């Protein structure tokens, strides 16, 4: 079963995550996401919407898979995770996350990597829960978090692992809007993407590159030393 669907409609790329469950991230997920990103760049998309299935944007890394992996494979998963989300963070076109439900850990960081973030109203959780799970946050996640969350709320969101409802996340400026009608959500996201299509993509990308390229390079240099298992010299 494919975990990710891709389509291009009126120059707007759509990436739809749906594994029928929590949209857990594993090797297949990242391979399919990579192919979708290749397509949207190759097809000249002018904006992107990433959305999940009803009830879940993504629950993050597959926690059932992780205990089964060897140290080498776990490092590979962690590095693939980092490089994939940083690629979304660095895309040369405007990006929108449509959080259709829970966005936890890796799901939350994927949403934070997008320029604009909207969510369904409901009893959903937006949370970076690594501090609860005992996982030190890598520098690349902190970089993305700082780009999306104000200094006022950053510590509680990333270091204290506070869980927010969509309305609470909106109040803290982590979201750009909360949509009450699920039936109108995609139309709303498309309208936002249409507005972003009017940007000059060359100017957008050059500005985004100047804003983020050096920081992304820095966190990638730190990545090997922050993998779950230190590689032998």
Pick from 69, 83, 71: nearest CA to 34: 83
Cβ-contact 25, 64 below 8 angstroms: no
Q: What is the per-residue pLDDT for 233?
A: 43
Q: What is the per-residue pLDDT for 181?
A: 86
The superfamily CATH assigns to domain 4-183 is: 2-enoyl-CoA Hydratase; Chain A, domain 1 (3.90.226.10)
User: What are 55's strand-pairing partners?
Assistant: 101
In the chain, what percentage of residues exceed pLDDT 90?
A: 96
Kind plus residue range of the DSSP H or E element containing 14? strand 12-17
Return the domain boundaries, the chain.
Answer: 4-183
**pLDDT tens digits for 195-206?**
999 999 999 999
Judged on CB neighbours under 10 Å (0-12, 13-18, 19+), 233 is exposed
Pairing of strands 4-9, 12-17: antiparallel
pTM of the model: 0.97
**pLDDT tens digits for 79-104?**
999 999 999 999 999 999 999 999 99
């Amino acid at each position: 079963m494919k975990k990710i669907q891709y389509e291009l409609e009126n120059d707007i790329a759509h990436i739809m995550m749906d594994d029928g469950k929590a949209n857990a991230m594993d090797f297949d997920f990242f391979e399919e996401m990579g192919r979708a990103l290749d397509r949207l760049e190759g097809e000249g998309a002018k904006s992107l919407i990433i959305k999940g299935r009803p009830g879940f944007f993504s629950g993050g890394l597959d926690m059932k898979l992780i205990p089964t992996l060897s140290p080498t494979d776990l490092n590979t998963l962690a590095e693939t995770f980092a490089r994939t989300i940083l690629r979304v963070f660095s895309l040369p076109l405007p990006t929108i996350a449509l959080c259709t439900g829970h966005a936890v850990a890796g799901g939350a960081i994927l949403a934070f990597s997008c320029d604009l973030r909207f969510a369904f109203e409901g009893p959903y959780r937006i949370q970076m829960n690594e501090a609860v799970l005992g996982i030190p946050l890598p520098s690349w996640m902190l970089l993305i978090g700082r780009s999306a969350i104000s200094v006022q709320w950053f510590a509680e969101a990333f270091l204290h692992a506070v869980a927010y409802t969509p309305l609470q996340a909106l109040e803290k400026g982590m979201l750009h809007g909360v949509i009450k009608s699920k039936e109108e959500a995609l139309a709303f996201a498309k309208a936002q993407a249409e507005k972003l299509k009017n940007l000059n993509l060359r100017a957008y990308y050059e500005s985004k590159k100047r804003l983020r390229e050096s920081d992304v390079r820095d966190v990638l240099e730190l990545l090997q030393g922050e993998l779950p298992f230190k590689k032998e010299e």
